Amino acid sequence: MSRARSLWGWGWADRFPDDDARRGLAAHAGAILGIEPPALRAPPTLETIRIPEPALAPPAALAPFCSAARLDRAMHTHGKSYRDVVRAFTGDFSGAPDFVAYPRDEADVAAVLAWGAAERVAIIPFGGGTSVVGGVERPAGAWRAAVPLDLCALDRIVEIDATSRAARIQAGATGPRLEEQLAGKGLTLRHYPQSFEHSTLGGWIATRAGGHFATLYTHIDDLLESVRMVTPKGVFETRRLPASGAGPAPDRLVLGSEGILGVIVEAWMRVRPRPRFRASASVRFDDFAGGARGARAIAQAGLYPSNCRLLDPREAMMSGVPADGGAVLLLAFESADHSMRPWIDRAVAVATAEGGTCAGAKEKTDERGGDASTEAWRQAFIDAPYLQSALVSLGVIADTFETACTWDRFEALHARVRRDVEDAMGRVCGGGSLTCRFTHVYPDGPAPYFTFVAPGRPGEELTQWAEIKRVAMNALVECGATITHHHAVGRMHRPGYEREVPPLFIASLRATKAVLDPAGVLNPGVLLDP
């Protein structure tokens, strides 16, 4: 009936390539990595996975909205990091939760929290389950049980204020689900993280998700007008306001709280009419450093393109964007109100003044799509996590990490990441490929996004991957960049996070958690060392 999600990999199960397609991918990966095409391995099934018996059954009061079915438990065991996909692919579901709660309303959420606090059961707020940082997994420690609180039943748009262009949306709505409800009113949130198909509004808020816009209001932080969160100590709801100067912003405590302070149940979000004008262009640079200068000039010109993505030569090639061995800067502007011709023309002029070449900008009205390079890139962007899962099935190590730093530090950061990650891949995998793009640009710095692919040794991939990830995290922290621009902290990035933020801030956050979640049952081990 409803389309099934993969038991182990990214997204829809029916998107997993068949054996012919996988053989093609294996040949391609072999060519890129300079190895024999890796062998096809069979994915696990619900029958073959190794999953422990639950330690605890749902109590009677919660039973009506809980499930201890094998499939439900399996589907809530892992997030979608490389590590998660590998563990799931190899049938390791040892961290399965004891049962899953599917609250029907806010009262159910509160009931689960109260029960968890009374019984010493860890509660894991769960949206789309797409965390790539260990944000939704069973915590270590002396918990009697672990129960994901899956908000999928709370997926409605409750109210629309067309005058203020805002919508009250339940936290469990996925990207497509909330967009389909807004579309009927001619509105859109236009927040498209790569996980859009499956991730949820609540998850975006909890992890400070980054949208696909390269500049201006793109983080979910910017789109949030007010938020409602259920905590073990009661409801934490902020006021609908376009802006306020009253004390430290309460919303900003919820944004990025990653499920450790409460369960986000709904939010008023700023929405907008669907764009009618779309202007786009691609600008070629001889190398990535030249492209970075072009991207910086545009970011500092006050033009605010919706797309300002810089692809290094290999990223461009792998995304199917013609670049002739150079780097490519993809530019786009969009508006529901007016032609963006003057904007794109000025952006192209700024980029070409920095040494880029451009075949010309084009603008389309009232229809989807920009120039061919933009379209090629968009498809590659959406397909990337499916590709990662397919590579895992071939034993290839493939992962991404992202950051942000000020412009003055970018060159040193890029050189250091290249050196350390390529060195690590050489040491533990015998080689590999590292590429870089900018996903977002700010007046004071870019958000570089790195992808690495390396040959894995069957059964040792996670050890190999852990070493590469370790040196990458260390390079980011030591170069003054952030441990994460939009992937969140979870458990995986905590060592970097603890070096990035002031120790007194960690102490403050711990004190806040003690106020809102005194039993400490909410997502233990995320953000804070428990």
Q: For residues 256 and 456, which CB has a smaller minimum distance to a second copy in the complex?
A: 256
Q: For residues 181 and 257, which CB has a smaller minimum distance to a second copy in the complex?
A: 257
Q: For residues 1 and 246, which CB has a smaller minimum distance to a second copy in the complex?
A: 246
Q: For residues 63 and 336, which CB has a smaller minimum distance to a second copy in the complex?
A: 336
Q: For residues 103 and 210, which CB has a smaller minimum distance to a second copy in the complex?
A: 210
- Least gap, CB of 214 to a second copy (angstroms): 12
Residue in the structure block whose two tokens are 């910017």: 222
Q: Which residues contact 180 (CB under 8 A, 6 or more apart)?
A: none
- Least gap, CB of 512 to a second copy (angstroms): 4
Q: For residues 75 and 489, which CB has a smaller minimum distance to a second copy in the complex?
A: 489
- Least gap, CB of 391 to a second copy (angstroms): 25
Radius of gyration from C-alpha coordinates of the chain = 23
Q: For residues 281 and 404, which CB has a smaller minimum distance to a second copy in the complex?
A: 404
- Least gap, CB of 473 to a second copy (angstroms): 12
d(CA 485, CA 404): 6
What are the distances in angstroms from CA 381 to CA 6, 96, 321, 437? 19, 30, 12, 12
- Least gap, CB of 145 to a second copy (angstroms): 26
Helix 82-89 and helix 372-392, axial crossing angle in degrees, nearest 10: 40
d(CA 21, CA 395): 15
- Least gap, CB of 17 to a second copy (angstroms): 31
- Least gap, CB of 414 to a second copy (angstroms): 14
Q: For residues 58 and 210, which CB has a smaller minimum distance to a second copy in the complex?
A: 210
Give me the count of residues in the chain.
530
- Least gap, CB of 477 to a second copy (angstroms): 9
* Parallel, antiparallel or unpaired: strands 145-150 and 121-126: parallel
Query: How many helices (H) and strands (E) in the chain?
Result: 16, 19
- Least gap, CB of 182 to a second copy (angstroms): 15
- Least gap, CB of 222 to a second copy (angstroms): 10
Q: For residues 88 and 260, which CB has a smaller minimum distance to a second copy in the complex?
A: 260
- Least gap, CB of 440 to a second copy (angstroms): 7
Q: Which residues contact 165 (CB under 8 A, 6 or more apart)?
A: 187, 270, 271, 272, 273
Q: Is 100 strand, coil or helix? A: strand
d(CA 295, CA 436): 14
d(CA 207, CA 133): 10
Which strand (E) or helix (H) includes residue 148? strand 145-150
19: left (phi over 0), alpha (psi -120 to 50) or beta: alpha
Q: For residues 50 and 239, which CB has a smaller minimum distance to a second copy in the complex?
A: 239
Q: For residues 96 and 263, which CB has a smaller minimum distance to a second copy in the complex?
A: 263
What are the distances in angstroms from CA 137 to CA 98, 259, 285, 416, 444? 12, 12, 43, 32, 35
What are the distances in angstroms from CA 197 to CA 5, 67, 135, 194, 425? 11, 24, 18, 8, 31
Q: For residue 390, give the nearest of 82, 55, 131, 32 by alpha carbon.
A: 82
